[in-house]
Structure 1
Amino acid sequence: MHILIASPHFNEWRGNKITAERIKQGIENRSHKVSVISSTEEGAPIPENIDLVHGFHAYKFAIFQKKYNIHLPYILTLTGTDINQNLEEEDKRDVILQCLQNAQIIHAFDSKMKEKVVHYLPDIQEKIKVMPQSVELNKKPLNKNPDPFIFLLPAGIRKVKNITSAIEMAAIMRDKYNIALELAGPVIEENEYKKIDHFLQKYDWLTYHGEIPFADMADFYKKADVVLNTSLSEGQSSALLEAMAAYRPVLASDIDGNRGVIKHEYSGFLYRNEEEFAMFAERLINNYEMRQKIAENAYIQVSENNSKEIEINTLLSWYSYALK
C-alpha cells in the first residue's frame, strides 16, 4: 500500500507537520510506503503509484485536490481551522462540505469536532470517526523550587493563538512573583509578531526562541514549570499533549479543543478570563504538590488515551476500508 499524506505548510514546524511525520513513521514501520507532500506548496511534484491519499485540513486539501486533478480515494483529518473558522465562512463552507461528502472516512480528534460537522451534514455521521492524536511519553522530573518560575507557551505566532494575552497576564503577575515567560514557534503572521516584538523590547523576563525543531522541544518542556495554551480556538493541541507526556502541568484557555484534552482540575486547568488565569497560575506557583499531582494525572491520562500503537492500527484499518 502506498499512502500519500497531503499536509498544509509541511515545511514549517506546525502541528500538522508533527502529526504527519509521526503517522508517516508509524505506517512505514508496518512495511507500507508513505510519501508526504505540502499541499500548500506551489509546484510540489505528485508521487507516482499512489493508492490512497490522507489529507489534512479539508479546505486546503480541497484546493490541492482540484489543482492537481487528483481522483483517488481519500480520508480527511479535520483541523481546528476547518471546524472553528472555515466552516463559518460562506465562501469556504461549500468547498469543505463537498470535500467531506466525497471522503471515504473523516477523522475528528474529538466528539465536539464531529458534532460540528454533523450539524451541516447529518447524513455522513457514520463515516466520521473519532480518534485523539497519539504522543510519545517523555517523563522528566519537575523542578521543586524554580527561580524564576517558567511558563512556556509553544505556539506559532498567529492571532488565533492569542499570545499577547499571555504576555499581558504574565506582566500583571510579575508584581507578585518572579516569573518568566518563554515563547517558541514559527512566525506565521507578521502583524502578530510586531505586537510581540514590542513586548520583547519592554520586558527582560520575556523570551522568544523562534521556530524550534520538534526533536529539540523536549529540552524546553524539561525546563518549563507550567505549559500554557492561550488559543482562541483549537482542533487538538499537539503541544498540550506533548507537555502532558513530558510530565508538565498545563494551564489553557477554556475552549472546545482544549476541553477535549484537559480534565479541569485533574489533568490541568482551564481558564475563562484573566482572573481565573491568575488564580490557577498562583495555585500552581505556590503549591509544588499540586503541580506534581496535576502532572502525574496528565501523564497517566495521555499514556492511557493517546497510544501511538492504537493510532497506527486504527489508521491502517481505515486505509484498508477506504480501498475496498
Structure 2
Amino acid sequence: MRLLFLACLSPKTGNCTTAERIRCHIEAAGHTCILRNCDDIKDHSDVTNLMKQEPFEAALAIHLFKGGRFLLDIHVPFGIVFGGTDVNEDVKDELKRTVMEHVLNKARFSVAFTPQMKEKAESFLLPESGEIRVQPQGIETRCASDFSWSEFLRSSGVEAECVEDMCVFLLVCGLRRVKDPLYLLQAFSEWHASHPQVVFIIIGPKMDPVFSQEVEESVSRWAGVYHAAEREQDELHAAMTHSFALVNSSISEGMSAAILEDFILMAEQLLDDKPLRERLTENGKRYVGEHHSFVQERRTYQELVETLHS
C-alpha cells in the first residue's frame, strides 16, 4: 500500500523525528510511505493535486489541525496522530476545534501519545467518546561513537579549565515561546555564581526568528547559561547521555510548569544525593523500558495501517 504522510518536518525537531520513526515502522511492514511537510501545503487543492499525480491508497497525518485538515477532502481512508498543540492550544480556538472534530469523525483511527492526551481530546473534541488508541512514543537511543563531551561543551561556549567536571543541565527544544526556555535563566545564573561547575545549556534550532533573538540576547546577559545549535540525532543523544540532568519546560504543558516552581531546590538535592540520583536513573530506565517500547510502537502502527485498506 502507498501512503501519503503529512507532518511538520522542520529539521532536527521532535515532530520530524517522530514522523521519520513512524514512517520507518510503516515501511518495515512492506508499505511505501511518502512524507510531506504540511508547512509547505497552502490549501486542500495542493493535496488533491498530489493525490492525482501519485497513486496513494491511504493517508496519515500528525496534528489534527496542522496536518489533518488537509485530508478532509481526499477520497482515500486516513488515520490521524494527535500532537500536543492539538489538545493544549488549538482546542482553545473555536474554528480550529470544529475542523479537528471533522477530522476525527472522518479518520479511520486516531492515536494519542499519553492517556492524558486522550482524556483531553475526549473532553474537548469527543463528548460522546470515540475510540482513541493510546500509544506512547517509542524510544531507541543511538549515540555517536566518536562523540567528545569536551568538544561539545567548548563548541557550546562553555569556558572552563576542566569541562569534564562541569555539571550540565540540558534543555532540548526548538526556540519558540511556547517551550519557555527562558524560564530558568536567572535562577540558573544565580546558582552558577555560587557553584561555577553548574551550567545550563539550551540546545535546539531557531524556529521563531524574533523569539530566537530574544533568547540569544538573554543568554548573553546571564553567566553560566548557553545556547547551542541543533545537532544530529546521534550526537544529541550522546550529549543527553553525558549531561547531569535533562530539563523540560513549556507554557502549555502544566505538569512541567508545576515542577519548575521549585526546580533549583530539587536540582540542588539531586546534586548532593547520590543514592537519589541512582534511584531516579534506575526507575527512569525501567519506566522507559515498560512504557516506551520501540517494538510495541512499531507493532501498533503496523496494525493500524492495516485498517486503512479500503
TM-score scaled by length of structure 1: 0.80
Residue 227 of structure 1 aligns to a residue in which SS?
Answer: strand
Change (3 A) 1:139 1:201: closer
Q: CA deviation at 1:6?
A: 0.8
Q: State the alpha-carbon separation in 1 of the partners of residues 286 and 232 from structure 2.
A: 26
Q: State the alpha-carbon separation in 2 of the partners of residues 215 and 48 from structure 1.
A: 33
Change (3 A) 1:194 1:110: same
Q: State the alpha-carbon separation in 1 of the partners of residues 128 and 308 from structure 2.
A: 15
Indicate if the aligned counterparts of 2:81 and 2:111 stay in contact, CA closer than 8 A: yes
The more displaced of 278-287 and 42-51 is 42-51
Change (3 A) 1:158 1:298: same
Q: Which residue of 2 aligns with 1:49?
A: 55
Structure 1 residue runs without a partner (length 5+)? 235-252, 259-269
**Per-residue Cα deviation, 1:255-296 (whole angstroms, up to 9, x for no partner):** 4xx9xxxxxxxxxxx7151xx111111111112332222111
Letter in 1 for 2:181: I
Letter in 2 for 1:52: A
Structure 2 residue runs without a partner (length 5+)? 150-162
Residue 137 of structure 2 aligns to a residue in which SS?
Answer: coil
Q: State the alpha-carbon separation in 2 of the partners of residues 28 and 112 from structure 1.
A: 29
Letter in 2 for 1:71: H
Q: CA deviation at 1:216?
A: 2.2
Q: State the alpha-carbon separation in 2 of the partners of residues 48 and 124 from structure 1.
A: 37
Residue 55 of structure 1 aligns to a residue in which SS?
Answer: strand
**Per-residue Cα deviation, 1:34-82 (whole angstroms, up to 9, x for no partner):** 111111114785572222211001111244336xx42221111101110
Query: In structure 2, which of residues 227, 232, 240 is the aligned counterpart of residue 221 of structure 1?
Result: 240
Residue 299 of structure 1 aligns to a residue in which SS?
Answer: helix
Check if 1:322 corresponds to 2:305. Answer: no
Report how many aligned residue pairs link the two structures.
285
Q: State the alpha-carbon separation in 2 of the partners of residues 103 and 316 from structure 1.
A: 16
Indicate if the aligned counterparts of 1:146 and 1:225 stay in contact, CA closer than 8 A: no
Q: State the alpha-carbon separation in 2 of the partners of residues 210 and 196 from structure 1.
A: 12
Check if 1:36 corresponds to 2:35. Answer: yes
Q: Which residue of 2 aligns with 1:100?
A: 104
Structure exhibiting the larger radius of gyration computed from Cα positions: 2
Indicate if the aligned counterparts of 2:175 and 2:211 stay in contact, CA closer than 8 A: yes
**Per-residue Cα deviation, 1:71-124 (whole angstroms, up to 9, x for no partner):** 221111101110000001123111111111111111111121111221234466
**RMSD of aligned alpha carbons:** 2.5
Q: CA deviation at 1:222?
A: 2.7
Query: In structure 2, which of residues 251, 254, 259 is the aligned counterpart of residue 271 of structure 1?
Result: 259
Alignment of 1:1-324 (within 5 A): 1-8=1-8, 10-42=9-41, 48-65=54-71, 69-122=73-126, 125-137=129-141, 147-178=165-196, 179-234=198-253, 254-255=255-256, 271-273=259-261, 276-324=262-310
Q: State the alpha-carbon separation in 2 of the partners of residues 271 and 156 from structure 1.
A: 20
Change (3 A) 1:120 1:199: closer
* % identical aligned pairs: 24
Indicate if the aligned counterparts of 1:104 and 1:127 stay in contact, CA closer than 8 A: no
Q: State the alpha-carbon separation in 1 of the partners of residues 260 and 202 from structure 2.
A: 21
Indicate if the aligned counterparts of 2:26 and 2:305 stay in contact, CA closer than 8 A: no
Q: State the alpha-carbon separation in 1 of the partners of residues 64 and 126 from structure 2.
A: 17
TM-score scaled by length of structure 2: 0.83
Q: CA deviation at 1:198?
A: 1.5
Change (3 A) 1:121 1:195: closer
Q: State the alpha-carbon separation in 2 of the partners of residues 232 and 121 from structure 1.
A: 22
Residue 129 of structure 2 aligns to a residue in which SS?
Answer: helix
Q: Which residue of 2 aligns with 1:261?
A: none
Indicate if the aligned counterparts of 1:154 and 1:228 stay in contact, CA closer than 8 A: yes
Letter in 1 for 2:259: Y
Q: State the alpha-carbon separation in 1 of the partners of residues 305 and 176 from structure 2.
A: 33
Q: State the alpha-carbon separation in 2 of the partners of residues 85 and 12 from structure 1.
A: 22
Residue 93 of structure 1 aligns to a residue in which SS?
Answer: helix
Q: State the alpha-carbon separation in 1 of the partners of residues 128 and 177 from structure 2.
A: 32
Indicate if the aligned counterparts of 2:80 and 2:110 stay in contact, CA closer than 8 A: yes
Q: CA deviation at 1:225?
A: 0.6
Change (3 A) 1:302 1:190: same
